[in-house]
Amino acid sequence: MAWLLFLVPLLFAAVTLVVPSNRWRPWLVPIGGLTHLGLTAVALIGEPVSALGGWLVLDPLSTLVLGFVSLMFWICSLYAPAYLALRPDRSNRVFCACLMGMLGMMSLVILSHHLGLMWVAIEATTLTSAPLLFFNHNSRSLEATWKYLLIGSVGIALALLGTFFLAYSSIREGLEPTLLLDDLVHLAPRLSAPWLHAAFVLLLVGYGTKMGLAPMHTWKPDAYGEAPGLVGALLATGVTSCAFLAILRFFQICHNAPEAAFAREILIFMGLLSMAVAAVFVIRQRDFKRMLAYSSVEHMGILVLGIGIGGLATFGALLHMITNGLTKGVLFLSAGNIHRAYERKNTDEVSGAIRRLPISGPLFLAGFLMVTGSPPGGPFISEFTILIGTIHAGKYWIAGLFLSLLAIVFIGMGATVLRVVQGTPSAKALATPYRDRPQLVIPIILFFVLALSLGVMIPSPLETQLHQAVAYLEGGHP
């Protein structure tokens, strides 16, 4: 079972490489996505998944992430055929293969309980997403891809050094060297403290680069600004969730060591810094796709902040990973449609999206309202939970800072989004051939309904899973 979860997408990737028809090839992506979703469902309700002598394990935390990423990918994949049909001039062979390859590598990251293997898989997600960013083949996407690849690879190299430091912290104390998560969690109290400190910092910088935490976020506005909306959605939810999971793995080890307080402080600091940097850059942001990138930096900050505070806020952070991800799906895909319709992404030239695109336009506005925490959207519930958790923990000034930064981002994003959706579209924008069509809006509506319904009610299986994940993360020995 564990093998199938990442080998089947790779098989689909291989098949897309040999299918000759540019027109029919994209349909393999939703079929592959659906197959993966089916396998995930079997894995979730079936027997515990474990393979390769404890290297590949589905624990409560990875179960949550796997379910989310698989669902996310499937909905995004529904968008792919119609999107690629808009670009018949361009071969989509590499694009489709990389999409499926990325799904396979994300599954491998999620399943890995061996930290070395996890590193290999995370680097592979960087490499499979580079050709996706370069899909537009122009000088701007070239620049974005180069920055993404170089900054991402350097960050990931530091994470490898951190992984090595972690392994060395056990050798230093004369313990059997290991990189298996379960062993390290058991050994945590006996690991060498200075090496563990250094390892956590390097890993947070390394995987934080991948996640897009400030100040290592500089690739993000360029990459999300130039990537097709579909790729932006997958990067902002799937890949960043995998990097977040990697950070959680190391947090889990530190949590069982005397270094827990140190790890928490540094997470809180990074979280608030990311939110503050996003708040500064989101104000007067003219490019609405770059604005989404800063929103992503902000929400990655909220995730690590929640983990840093712990307890109820951890529950909120894990829920926020899902609610923010679903809302980002709404935003990136509808922004992609608006970009297609106007062929511009600067608010000086884009206005009146509600009139120009009667479905994508309002969904973009609704997505903005939800992602900034307006009730009754899903992110409202998760952000509120994190806030309550912060107050319960007695960290009043952090709660105050959290609320004020959320308010600043709301105002900053609001100015840009309202410029996009209000007003009248220019004659040039009305003349472009793009029209909203079912295949391009159904995935957005699906994301919207899911994100909204999580705000109204959290289904009990999800709630149970979230509680189990929190217990697994913070409860000590597995």
116 binds another protein (CB under 8 A): yes
Pairing of strands 50-51, 56-57: antiparallel
| Residue where the block lists tokens 């537009």 | 136
Tally of CA atoms within 13 A in the half-sphere of 237 that contains its CB: 33
35 binds another protein (CB under 8 A): no
* CB of residue 153 to another protein, shortest distance in Å: 5
d(Cα 295, Cα 289) in Å, to the nearest integer?
10
Interface residue with another protein among 139, 431, 433, 460 (CB under 8 A) is 139
172 binds another protein (CB under 8 A): yes
d(Cα 464, Cα 315) in Å, to the nearest integer?
11
Q: Which is nearer to another protein, 27 or 164 (CB)?
A: 164
Interface residue with another protein among 23, 90, 140, 435 (CB under 8 A) is 140
Q: Which range binds another protein by CB under 8 A, 56-64, 133-141, 297-305, 320-328?
A: 133-141
46 binds another protein (CB under 8 A): no
Sign of CA dihedral 146, 150, 156, 157: positive
- Element housing 466 (H / E): helix 460-474
Interface residue with another protein among 123, 298, 383, 436 (CB under 8 A) is 123
Interface residue with another protein among 168, 393, 395, 474 (CB under 8 A) is 168
d(Cα 427, Cα 130) in Å, to the nearest integer?
35
Q: Are 301 and 278 in contact (CB under 8 A)?
A: yes
Q: Are 246 and 375 in contact (CB under 8 A)?
A: no
Site for another protein in 210-249 (CB under 8 A): 221-222, 225-226
130 binds another protein (CB under 8 A): yes
- Element housing 208 (H / E): helix 193-211
Q: Are 373 and 455 in contact (CB under 8 A)?
A: no
* CB of residue 169 to another protein, shortest distance in Å: 9
Site for another protein in 276-305 (CB under 8 A): 281
164 binds another protein (CB under 8 A): yes
DSSP one-letter string for 287-328? BHHHHHHHHHHHHHHHHHHHHHH-THHHHHHHHHHHHHHHHH
* CB of residue 278 to another protein, shortest distance in Å: 13
Interface residue with another protein among 2, 97, 109, 160 (CB under 8 A) is 160
146 binds another protein (CB under 8 A): yes
44 binds another protein (CB under 8 A): no
What single DSSP character describes residue 189? G
CB atoms inside a 10 Å sphere around CB 53: 9
Question: How many positions of this chain bind another protein (CB under 8 A)?
Answer: 46
Residues that bind another protein (CB under 8 A): 114, 116-117, 119-120, 123-124, 126-127, 130-131, 134, 139-140, 142-147, 149-150, 153-154, 157, 160-161, 164-165, 167-168, 170-172, 174, 177-179, 192, 194-195, 221-222, 225-226, 281
